[in-house]
Structure 1
Amino acid sequence: MELIIGLLSGAVGGNVAGSLLKNLNQGVLINSLSGIVGGGLGGTVLSMIGAHAGGGMDLAGILSQVLGGGIGGGAVLAIVGLLRKQLGK
């Protein structure tokens, strides 16, 4: 269940980052896919380094998954946007 929360919050984070960073916006589909990848990676990395507050489905655990997924989703979208921009030149 934690992974699903990370993936969903990553998709949201990717779309939010796309709307805030207009020059890196790739459209809803690419923003969502990049966010899903980043959300999964963000949640996994947080768990691996021990920054996962709480251990499960308590409020702290859910919030850390949402935060990690959202930040990871935005970061991967930014990377994808920069790469596509550079390859398009």
Structure 2
Amino acid sequence: MPVQVNIHEAKTRFSQLLARVLSGEEVIIAKAGKPVARLVPFQQPPALRHPGSAKGKIVMAPDFEAPLPETILQEFER
């Protein structure tokens, strides 16, 4: 459950609130009892993907599209 503090208390105890956020808690900052902001731990955005970056690193077997052996096909039909 997040902790809710008013703006004045948040200004006074900002370092303590940041320590709580770093430990995984969520802190809601309120003005006149109404939530106006939320402090949460910062998360790095995922790395950008670069199409084609694995080119030449993946090899397909020559028989990749060959039919499966009958024993394996039977396993799928159970």
Considering the TM-score relative to the shorter chain, is it more than 0.5? no
Question: Which has more helix, going by share of residues?
Answer: 1
The TM-score by the shorter chain falls in which range? Answer: under 0.3
Give the TM-score, by structure 1 length.
Answer: 0.25
Q: Which has the higher strand share?
A: 2
| TM-score with structure 2 setting the length | 0.27
